[in-house]
Structure 1
Amino acid sequence: VGVVGHARVQDQQALQPAVVGAGLETCVHSTMRSANDRGLECLLVLDACVAYDPDLVAPARSQVEMSGGIFGAVGDTSAVLDALNLLNERLHP
């Protein structure tokens, strides 16, 4: 989360952003660590990320989840979509 990205997250009061992207073991992981340093609790949407080296997917996931989720939590797109649909139903019955 860069300076601009962090400001946008704060403006929206999103304290638990979902993180997706290319470069799971580099860019995505760095973004999660940076967001964690700023007090955000991130969800790594693993099946919406692409690793430069497929052999590093498991270690990247493990680093996020170590020590009870020190850098956040790991989920998948179906769980994110289910949660968003539930939220939408509650906001717009």
Structure 2
Amino acid sequence: MVLSLGATLAWWLFYSPPGDAALSAFLGGAICWVPSALFAARLKAKSGAETIMSWMIGEALKMGATIAMFVAIAFWYKGALWVPLLVTYLVALKTYWIAMVWR
């Protein structure tokens, strides 16, 4: 989440005009961390019943939420700038891999 906020700030500082670029970047980051937060909350709520099926359902919900957020932004936010949105989404998405390498 912090990285997506940092990317949002970078798009706001270095893109002209900054408004739509920063909002698009923020939404791109949110597309990454909101479904992940929902997945984590679901796992925490089911702390006594960690099964393979529980993880699979959680991942399916996470993918569905991600797709739904992309569709919702495309449908309702006509001023979306797709380059900042997708770049910030990919940066936030790759953060998990960087964190695993550092461990």
TM superposition score normalised by structure 1: 0.29
Is the strand fraction higher in 1 or 2?
1
Q: Tell me: higher relative CO, structure 1 or 2? Use CA pairs within 8 A at least 6 residues apart.
A: 2
Is the helix fraction higher in 1 or 2?
2
